[in-house]
Every structure is written in C-alpha cells, then in structure tokens.
Chain A
C-alpha cells in the first residue's frame, strides 16, 4: 500500500483506471435507472414515488463514504506524511459535497408527497445537512491553507474531527424518534425492502460508486499536475 503513495506509481495505475471507472459507472447508473424506473412495481403506499430511492440512497451512502475517505486520507497524512494523502482528501471533498446535496434534494422531493412536507428538523435530516456544511467548510479550509502554501495539517485535523458526525447520521434513526424511517437494508440480518427494489438499488449504488471513484481519480490527477506546474513555475522564476 505504501508503494502507491508514490505519485508516479499512483499515476501509472490511476491513468488506465479512470476511463474504466468513468464509463463503467455511467453505463451501470443508466442501466440501474432504466431498471429501477421502468421494471419495478409501484409501492404499496408510496406508489411510484418509491423509485427516487435509486438515486437518493446511493447519494446518502456515498456522501457518508466520502467523509470516511477524507478521514482515512487525513489520518494517513497526519501519521505517515504521504503527500498523496492530502491530494486524495481534497479530491474527495467536492464530489462528497455534491452527493450529500443531491441526497438532501432528492429526499426533500420524496418527502413532500410521502410525508406531506419538504423538510423537518429531525435527527436524520439535520445531521445529513450538517455533513453537507462540513464538506463546504472543509473545501474552504483546504483551499485557504493550500493558497497560503503552508502544510495542510489544519484541513487534515478537521477531516478527522468530522467523523464524529458519521455515527450520528447512521444511528440517528435508532437513538431518537425521527420523521425519517429506520434502516431498511442490512448486511447481516434481513432487509425490509423487497428484493424487487433491493437489486436495482444495489446496482445503482455500485454504478454511482464507480462514478464517484472516477471523479476522485480525475481530480487527484489534476491536482498532482497542478502541483507540478506550480513547482516548475517557481523554479523558472528563481532562475
């Protein structure tokens, strides 16, 4: 694993991997959405509104997975001082914020017909909104610290502190009474979502994950290239 912390070696893997993730992800998301929208039945109470889960749930998962990624990269950066780790954390922040926002928007669109309201301040919705704000704060912080050309320790520490919110999002529906329903999908136990919905949902989750990975790799490659450009400009100015 340490071997790939070398940017040159990382790029030799990332370059061929990017189109595979990108086109694989797009194809899978399209297929899952066609499957989910046209080949699944209406739900008992929600009717066709249920079909928004094929976007909403993967967005929620990846929004949370994104911050886990930032935290892991930040920890790696703090302990082993791998320069690649800070590029990774910064690359994850923007798609993470976007996916969290899409989760909030699609949830709101679902909530209007299903619950009768666009928004409530319950534990799940509020903690998810906090995650979105954490992403925004992280992006601003990371930008400012790289502009000042200082080490990015502050952003990394913020990335670690932010994981406090993840168990709160996950367990909000169990600790507190919430407007949001409880967990339907379980890896170990029985899922309470019918298999007719579960399979297209898993397919779209895999598709969006590949897409997320592609965005992260592209952003990492771009930021590594930018670092190279900056270094060369600095050298030329010094000569």
Chain B
C-alpha cells in the first residue's frame, strides 16, 4: 500500500468516525438539548409545581381569552395529544395568534396552570403570502400539517 493510499483510508475513516460520533452524541442529547417541553412531556413527567420550565406547542384554536385588564391573556397550548392551560401578563409578540406556535418560560402553579413569565412566538416552516391566506392549502403546493393544528 502506497503512503498516499494509507493516508486516504486513514482520513476517510477519521471523517466517518467523526461525523458518526458527532451525530450520535447530538442525537443522544435529544431530551436535554431540546429548547422546550411539549404539553405531552409535561403530562408524562409532571414537573413539580414552582420549578422553572419552558413550554412549547401550538395555541389551540379559539382558546385565547384576553382579560378585562388588557394585558393578561389565557390560552391553551397543545401538541396534538396533550393540552396545557397557560396564563401570561404582558405584551404578546406579533406572531402570537390562534393556531401558531409559542414558547413560554414559566412555572406550573398548584392547580396545574402554567404561569408564563416570558412568551415568544414560534414561526413554522410555512411562508405564505397574505393574499393567499384562507385558500385551501391541501390542494396546492403547501404542506398542511402545521397549518391545521
């Protein structure tokens, strides 16, 4: 075997090992490296009331209720299997609408209500012009999964 071929095998092996190790390690981190818990995670693990957690999911259609004081909003976050009631006092971001994604920092109170301290909107992977809103996306070129939730 020529020296060049030796180096070739060595480097290729190193690259495969590196990418494999990196991907495996990253994949193994799944839970820990997730930026937030979904409502089903919370339903499964039941975090202690008062401990800080970050919740993410979709705002359930028709669930947003704004209080008379104008800054408190109550809504339900769902992920298709579980639901979590959330309350937040403050100004909501522009992308916070029913059916859209949210990420909220906060804690569960004794009654299982999630009290959010910060509220971020989460955009989905769909980019749709305003004029096309409301058009039936199932027939066209759009993926619908995130739209219908």
Name A's B-contacting residues (CB within 8 A): 40-47, 50, 53, 71, 75, 78-80, 113-117, 120-123, 160-161, 163-165, 167-168, 171-172, 175-179, 181-184, 190-197
Contacts and interface: CB of A to CB of B under 8 A. Distances in A.
Contacts of B136: none
Interface in B1-52: 4, 7-8, 11, 14-15, 18-19, 21-23, 26-27, 29-30, 33-38
B127 A176 contact: no
Given A43-B128, A160-B15, A163-B15, A79 B22 contact: no
B84 to A, nearest CB: 14
A114 to B, nearest CB: 6
B103 interface: yes
A116 B35 contact: no
Contacts of B7: 78-79
Q: Identify whether the interface residues of B are mostly helix, strand, loop, or mixed.
A: mixed
A167 B22 contact: yes
A160 to B, nearest CB: 6
16 contacts: A41-B130, A43-B127, A43-B130, A44-B128, A80-B4, A117-B118, A120-B103, A123-B33, A123-B34, A160-B15, A160-B18, A167-B26, A171-B23, A190-B143, A194-B128, A197-B129
Given A178-B35, A194-B141, 20 more contacts: A79-B4, A79-B8, A80-B4, A115-B95, A115-B121, A120-B35, A123-B34, A160-B14, A163-B18, A163-B19, A165-B22, A171-B26, A175-B29, A176-B30, A177-B56, A181-B123, A192-B127, A192-B142, A192-B143, A195-B141
A75 B100 contact: no
- Chain B interface size range: 35 or more
B118 to A, nearest CB: 8
A188 B132 CA distance: 24
Contacts of A178: 34-35
A197 B142 CA distance: 13
Contacts of B94: 45-47, 113-114
B8 A176 contact: no
A41 B130 CA distance: 7
Of residues A75, A114, A116, which shows the largest number of chain B Cβ atoms within 10 Å of its Cβ? A116
Given A79-B4, A176-B33, A46 B95 contact: yes
The list of the 8 closest CB pairs from A to B, nearest first, reads: A116-B93, A164-B22, A122-B35, A41-B129, A193-B127, A177-B34, A184-B125, A182-B125
A172 B122 CA distance: 16
Interface string B106-149: 00000000000011111111111111110000000111001000
B64 interface: no
